[in-house]
Structure 1
Amino acid sequence: MSQFALRKYLDDVTNTQTIENLWNMHTEKMASYGFDRLIYGFTRYKTSSSLGDPQDWVILTNHSPDYMDVFIDEGLYFHAPMLRWAIENNGACSWSWLKDMYRRINITASEQRVMDFNRSMGVTSGYTISFRSVSDRYKGAIALTAKADTPQEDVDAMWDEHGDDIIVMNNVVHLKLLTLPYSGSRNLTKRQREVLEWVGDGKTTQDIALLLGLTAATVEKHLRLARESLDVETTAQAVLKAAFYNQMFVLDV
């Protein structure tokens, strides 16, 4: 990839305004390197024993629903060796590591099930990039799956030539994603966002009612619905989670 083309791509990425446009742009770019299926995941709720509620994850993918229904919904991700590597490490890792692990270690039945399932779905070669975090609670990673039946050796040869550029592009996309509004299954209405914004500005329920021309009871109703949508117990938690998802103080574009 020429330096001009790389700069042009990074400029387009940093100026896009929606996750949909960014993801479409990135999947197309990664496909040009032979990675036709991607899974990006990010959590702000990681602990020593959990990645948090899956409904609170940011997950973007162009894998088929047949793959994601099993890998995510049936919990195979929990036993995926490359996901474990991503949680414990930063940087890029060739999936040749899986073959080395398979030869050296007695893998568990759950890990074997993941590997068998991936093999049945043509998910056999690729790279994983684990992004460096500023908090122990945060973790993001992307799995780049090569086209089915592509030998890992061919992927590694391509990576030797273009890997540095691919890492830079994925890092920039990751950082850009953290700035864009994301709702997932936690959808807020315009009015719910509005009352949370006023709470974030330090306004009381009575203040918000006066500012919006509503009754205090109506403001309380919107706050309650916002808490329910975000699956939290307090309004302070709702403000924090909405801010995490960049759903507050967002310009209409």
Structure 2
Amino acid sequence: MDLVSHLDKIANAPSMEALWDLHCRKMAEFGFDRLLYGYTNYRIGKSLGDPEDFVILTNHDKEYTDWFLGEQMYYHAPMVKWSLENEGSASWGIMREKLSNKTLSDKELQVIEFNDKMNVTSGYTISFKSISPRSKGAIALTGAAHMNQEDADEVWARHGAEIILMNNVAHLKILSLPYIGPTRGLTKRQLEALHWVGDGKTTADIAILMGLTPATVEKHLRLAREVLSVETTAQAVLKAALQNQMFVVEY
């Protein structure tokens, strides 16, 4: 598939799952067969916010994600730190330079040791341009087990511009698609109530519009706040909007 055809498919992907499958298969054609994408809208200072609010997409195996994500070791990953301080792309050769210069912390060394064990030893990281001070997105492209960093650098020298473009388009598409975390899905009734709040309606108005009692509307809004782990209904509307759950066109 040529570049234009691929980008067209990405731009028209109807769901996060379809988009991610397309992107993983395309990156594998360049030798990057394991991907890890992360995005947050809740960055403040050194905090990236609640991990349950992250958009995380990956095709790494469970053993890797359980440790790297589940144990929150990404906080100590050298290339994650690089992505938080930079925009653009970088070779994982940076890690080897830091290793040889003995400038890595014990936790960073622990991450590199685990990566070596899991054959996560070569690749590139792309840090996307942030749309606000609170947002950050990046993707780690891991080279196949048979690749070393010199192989990855050679691929990048030939195709880096194409790969960066494809990842940027995929990232922008991801930002437009609904993403529901494992425990953050809202029911249709909860979403409908939030929609009306977003339109400026009062509880009494919403009760009439939805054919419910005000108490039932309040219950839906309370449950929505609990699902989204927020204190106020205004915060629930904002968070649902940031997750693209509001006013979604169903395919």
- State if a TM-score over 0.5 links the two structures: yes
Could you tell me how far apart the structure 1 residues matched to 2:26 and 2:93 are?
A: 23
Matched residue, 1:102: 99
Tell me, yes or no, if structure 1 residue 153 matches structure 2 residue 150.
yes
8 Å CA contact 1:36, 1:145 repeated in 2: yes
Matched residue, 2:210: 212
Could you tell me how far apart the structure 1 residues matched to 2:146 and 2:155 are?
A: 15
Could you tell me how far apart the structure 2 residues matched to 1:112 and 1:205 are?
A: 54
Moved more, 197-206 or 101-110: 101-110
State the secondary structure of the residue aligned to 1:26.
helix
8 Å CA contact 1:125, 1:145 repeated in 2: yes
Could you tell me how far apart the structure 2 residues matched to 1:85 and 1:107 are?
A: 13
Q: CA deviation at 1:53?
A: 0.6
Q: CA deviation at 1:105?
A: 3.5
Q: CA deviation at 1:108?
A: 1.2
Could you tell me how far apart the structure 1 residues matched to 2:49 and 2:175 are?
A: 17
Q: Give the counterpart letter for 2:239 in structure 1.
A: K
State the secondary structure of the residue aligned to 1:51.
coil
Could you tell me how far apart the structure 1 residues matched to 2:176 and 2:88 are?
A: 21
Which of 231, 234, 237 in structure 2 is aligned with 1:233?
Answer: 231
| Misfit runs of 4+, over 4 Å | none
Matched residue, 1:114: 111
Q: CA deviation at 1:71?
A: 0.3
Matched residue, 1:37: 34
Q: CA deviation at 1:106?
A: 2.9
Map 1:175-214 onto structure 2 (within 5 A): 175-185=172-182, 186-214=184-212
Tell me, yes or no, if structure 1 residue 93 matches structure 2 residue 83.
no
Matched residue, 1:124: 121
Structure 2: which 5+ runs fail to align? none
Could you tell me how far apart the structure 2 residues matched to 1:91 and 1:167 are?
A: 8
- The TM-score normalised by the length of structure 2 is 0.98
Tell me, yes or no, if structure 1 residue 61 matches structure 2 residue 61.
no
Map 1:48-87 onto structure 2 (within 5 A): 48-87=45-84
Could you tell me how far apart the structure 2 residues matched to 1:149 and 1:22 are?
A: 26
Cα displacement string for residues 106-138 of structure 1 (whole angstroms, at most 9, x for unaligned residues): 321111100000000000000000000121110
Q: CA deviation at 1:50?
A: 0.7
Structure 1: which 5+ runs fail to align? none
Cα displacement string for residues 126-181 of structure 1 (whole angstroms, at most 9, x for unaligned residues): 00000001211100000000111311101101110000000000000000000001
Q: Give the counterpart letter for 1:82 in structure 2.
A: M
Moved more, 97-106 or 227-236: 97-106
8 Å CA contact 1:124, 1:149 repeated in 2: no
Q: CA deviation at 1:103?
A: 1.6
- The TM-score normalised by the length of structure 1 is 0.97
Q: Give the counterpart letter for 1:199 in structure 2.
A: V
Could you tell me how far apart the structure 2 residues matched to 1:132 and 1:42 are?
A: 11
